[in-house]
Amino acid sequence: MRTSEKPAANAAAGLSGPASRKLPVPPRERKPALAALAVLLILGGALATTLLVLRSGDRVSAIRVTQQVGAGQKFTEQMLEEVQIAADSGIDYVSWSERGKVENSFATVTVLPGTLFTSRMGVGQSSELGPGKATVGLALKPGQMPAGVEAGDRVQVIYVPSRSAQGQTRVLAESALVFSVGDKSRTANSGQITVIVDSSASPEIVAFASSGEIAVAELPGAR
C-alpha cells in the first residue's frame, strides 16, 4: 500500500513571496537644532509677555492740582494731591517727593483743578506779589460780588458811590487777581475776599471799601 505524501504547499515560496518582503524602514532622523529653536522661541515669548506685564505695572507718584490756582498765586498744601501715573508716560511730571518745593512756588499761569503739575507751572517769585503790588481785603455786601468767584479768578474792582456821595462809577482796578475767598453767606452772594492790586490804587480802594462803596465784577475770559 503506497502512502501518498502531500508536499507542503509552497513552503519555500511562502517565505520568498512578495507578501513576506518588508521594505526597510529608514532610521528616524533627530533634529536637535530645530527643537532647541522651538524652546528658545517659547521662552522668548514668555519673557516678552512677562516684561510687558511688569512694565504696565510701573507707576510713579506725581503731583496733581486739586483747586484752581491763578497766575501769580502761591501753591499751598491743600491745593496738591498725590496721583499715580505710568513711569513711561512721557509727561514732564514733578515727583510727589518734591511737593515741598512746589508749595513754595507761584503759578506762572492759571492752573485748573485736575491738572497734572509740571515744572513750567511754578516759579520761585510771583510777578503778582512783587514790588508795586498790594493785597487788599474787601468785605462785600449782597449784590456787590457775583456768585462763584474763586481764588485765582480775575475781577474788576469798581467804585460805586452811594446816593449821598458825589461822584461817578469808575473802575479802580482793571484786572485784579483774587488771592483768597472767605466763607460766603448761605443766603446771599456776599463775603470777604482778598485781591491783589497795584499799590498805587490800594489806598483809594481801601477808603471806598470802608464805606461800602466797592463792588467787583468777574472777568471769566481773563485767566
Q: What are the pLDDT digits (tens) for 9-22?
A: 444 444 455 555 55
d(CA 44, CA 38): 10
Residues 56/102, Cβ–Cβ less than 8 Å: no
**Which pLDDT tens digit goes with each residue over 59-87?**
889 999 998 887 778 888 999 999 988 87
Q: Note the pLDDT of residue 46.
A: 61
d(CA 160, CA 165): 10
Q: Letter for the amino acid at 54?
A: L
d(CA 81, CA 85): 13
Q: Which of 60, 101, 112 is nearest to 82 (CA)?
A: 60
CB atoms within 10 A of CB 214: 26
Residues 143/189, Cβ–Cβ less than 8 Å: yes
State the chain's mean pLDDT as an integer. Answer: 77
How many angstroms from the chain centroid is the CA of residue 170? 42
Q: Which pTM does this prediction carry?
A: 0.53
- Name the one residue in this structure whose C-alpha cell is 502512502: 3
Q: Hey, CA dihedral for 65, 70, 75, 79, is it positive or negative?
A: negative
